Amino acid sequence: MRYAIRRSEDALIIVDVQRDFCSGGALPVPEGEKIIPTLNRYIKKFSEAGALIIATRDWHPPNHVSFVKYGGPWPPHCVQGTPGAEFHPDLKLPRNIKIVSKATSADKEAYSGFNGTGLGAELRKAGIRRVFVGGLATDYCVKSTVLDALSLGFETVLLLDAIKGVNVNPGDSEKAINEMLKRGARKAVIDDFQSCHSS
């Protein structure tokens, strides 16, 4: 399928491409940084079309419930104001990027960019009808963001060449992709957007 980016109705959502989720970080997604060049191509296309671009980030307090010390499954990561919480330096975010911080309360986990952030209401207010989602990690925050977008009524497209998974259990990412598609997400790769800009 070919996609023409509609300036007034489409948004690109880049999920959690932060230092701690890339090589050398506190909770690295295997080869997570390898999707960055492709994400930059998407950013360029959406920027050229004048479409909305959003970047979500984990923005945890130091005592977050997801950390092992406080009963969660993960090592401390993406703690507010630390280098690990910064976006990866190779990610070419535009100056007018909208940043959405999630999981900011110590006692609440939030994998989805829509969970407790008000993002859904903001997108509706902006007239957005379709979202394109890429980032980290396929089997956690990307999946949760895609499923929430679908449940909120947005047409949702998963960018298959711009996601990477953790795969705590073998095949987790494949299962996550299948679940997203089964729930109604569409799929795309960068070549589906070639020379497809419109207002």
Tens-digit pLDDT profile for residues 36-56: 999 999 999 999 999 999 999
pLDDT of amino acid 166: 94
What residues are labeled active site?
16, 102, 141
CATH number for 134: 3.40.50.850
Query: What's the pTM?
Result: 0.96
Q: What's the domain count of the chain? A: 1
Amino acid at 3: Y
Tens-digit pLDDT profile for residues 77-123: 999 999 999 999 999 999 999 999 999 999 999 999 999 999 999 99
- Long-range (24+ apart) CB contacts under 8 A made by 171-177 are 172/138, 172/139, 173/137, 173/138, 173/139, 175/139, 176/138, 176/139, 176/142, 176/143, 177/138
Decide: helix, strand or coil at residue 44: helix
Q: How far apart are the first and last CA of the chain?
A: 19
**Do the Cβ atoms of 141 and 147 come closer than 8 Å?**
no
Q: Sorting pLDDT into bands at 50, 70 and 90, what band is 194? A: low
Domain that holds residue 107: 5-198
